Structure 1
C-alpha cells in the first residue's frame, strides 16, 4: 500500500515513517512466505529478521490492547492476510471447531496412533488441553467450552 494512501492528508513524522517501513517489511514477508512472521526459539542469522518482525507485530498488538495504536495503523494491519489481533484465542477456537466437527463425524475422540496426520495433531491438542487443565492453567472459559462437547475431554 502506498504511503500516500495510508496517510492521505496527514503529516508524517519520523515515527510514522519508521512504522510504515516496518509495515512494508511485514507486507513483503507475508507476500513472499505466505504467512505471518514467527518468533523462533532457535534464532539463526537467517531467521533473526523474521523473529524481529514477529516481535514488531507482537508490539503492535500490545499497543492496540493499551489503546495507543492509531486507527490508521490498525486499519492497515487488518488488511494483511493472516493478521490476527489475538492469535492464541483465535487458534484455540479453530482447534475447538475442528475437534467438534471430528467428534460429530467420527463419534469418538481423536487417537494418537491414527494413520491420519490431522487426527494425530488433534489428539496432541486434546492431550495438551488435558495437561493444562490438570495443572490448573486452562482458563475457565475454555474448560467450559470443552465440557460442552459430547465426550469427556477435561
Structure 2
C-alpha cells in the first residue's frame, strides 16, 4: 500500500504540474510528492480492490450490483467515480490514476456500443450486408449475432429500449433489418393455437372483443390487443404476418371487416354442409347469427341496396340464392 500511496502522490503532482504549466508538456516529477490525506488513503484502498477485480476478470467493467466477497460495493464505487468525473468533481490526479487501469472507461456503455458497431461494420464490409445471423460469432469470439438480436429485441420490446440515435445508426447500414428477431413467447404461441382452433371450428379468425375460448381464455381481448399493438407500430412483423395469414383475420372492426368475417363463416358452412344455402334461423357454432345475416343480405338485394361486388361474391358460393329460406324449406 505504501508503494501505491507514493505512486498516487507522484501522479497527483504530475497532473497538477501539467494543469498549472503553460507549456505543452510537463516532465514527470521524480523528486517530490504531495502529502496524501486520510481520505486519499481510503480511496486508494478501494482502487486496490478495483485492481484485484481487474486481475481476476481482465477488465474494469464492474457491474453496478457487484460486491466483493467482504461486502465492499465495488460496482457502486466505480459508478460514483464516473459520475464525479462527469460533473467535474473528481480530482484530476484520481482521474489520471483510474485511466491507467487496463480497460478503464468513463462511459462503458458507449464503448461497448462502439465495439459492437466496429464488429458489425467489419462483418458488413466482408459480406456486403449488415444482416447478421443470430448465432454468428466473430473470429475474436465476439457474439455479434447475439448483440444484433438484443438490439432487435430492444426495438420490439414495446418500450423501445434503444435510443433514436442508435436506431438511426443501425438503419443507416445496408442490409440491417429489425425483423430478424422472432418473438418466441410461449403464451403468445398458445394464444395463436387457440385462434387456430377457432378457425378450424368456425371458419374465421374474426373474434369479437368479448369472445371467450372454451377453456376460459379471453381470446377476443387477446386479438384486440394484437390489433392495438399493430396500430401503435409495436407488433413484430413476423407476428403480424402470422395473424394476417389466418382466414378472416382483420386489423379493424369496420363495417366492411364485419361483413368479411360473416362471409368467412358462410364459407365454413359451405365446407361443412356442401352448400351456402342458410336458413334464416341458423346460428353458427360460435354463436353468430349467420341465418339473420344471410336474410339481411337478401333483403338489401331486393331493395337494390347491396353493393354489386358483394352481390357478385355471394353468387359465386354454391347453393346461395336470393330467396328467403325458412326452417320448413330447408
Instruction: Determine the C-alpha separation between the residues in 1 that align with 2:71 and 2:111.
Output: 22
- Aligned match of 1:12 in 8, 13, 36? 36
Contact 2:132 2:145 in 1 (8 A): yes
Instruction: Determine the C-alpha separation between the residues in 2 that align with 1:50 and 1:39.
Output: 14
Contact 1:26 1:53 in 2 (8 A): yes
TM-score by length of 2: 0.40
Deviation at residue 32 of structure 1 after TM alignment = 4.3
> Which position in structure 1 is the counterpart of 2:122?
101
**What is the DSSP-based 3-state SS (H/G/I as helix, E as strand, rest coil) of the residue aligned with 1:7?**
helix
> Which position in structure 2 is the counterpart of 1:52?
73
Instruction: Determine the C-alpha separation between the residues in 1 that align with 2:143 and 2:72.
Output: 25
Instruction: Determine the C-alpha separation between the residues in 1 that align with 2:104 and 2:145.
Output: 26
Q: Please state if 1:145 is matched with 2:201.
A: no
Q: 1:5 to 1:30 in 2, by over 3 A?
A: same
Q: 1:74 to 1:104 in 2, by over 3 A?
A: same
TM-score by length of 1: 0.80
Name whichever of 101-110 and 26-35 sits farther off.
26-35
**What is the DSSP-based 3-state SS (H/G/I as helix, E as strand, rest coil) of the residue aligned with 1:36?**
coil
CA RMSD of aligned residues (A): 2.8
Contact 1:111 1:123 in 2 (8 A): yes
- Aligned match of 1:111 in 133, 157, 162? 133
Q: Deviations over 1:40-82 (max 9, x none)?
A: 86x7x9x545972232211111111121100000000000001
Instruction: Determine the C-alpha separation between the residues in 2 that align with 1:151 and 1:7.
Output: 53
Give the structure with the higher percent helix. Answer: 1
Deviation at residue 142 of structure 1 after TM alignment = 0.9
Instruction: Determine the C-alpha separation between the residues in 2 that align with 1:40 and 1:65.
Output: 17
Structure 1 unmatched ranges of 5 or more: none
Deviation at residue 98 of structure 1 after TM alignment = 0.5
- Aligned match of 1:39 in 44, 63, 74? 63
Q: Please state if 1:24 is matched with 2:48.
A: yes
- Aligned match of 2:149 in 124, 127, 131? 127
Deviation at residue 16 of structure 1 after TM alignment = 0.9
> Between Structure 1 and Structure 2, whose CA radius of gyration is higher?
2
Q: Greater RCO between the two (CA within 8 Å, min separation 6)?
A: 1
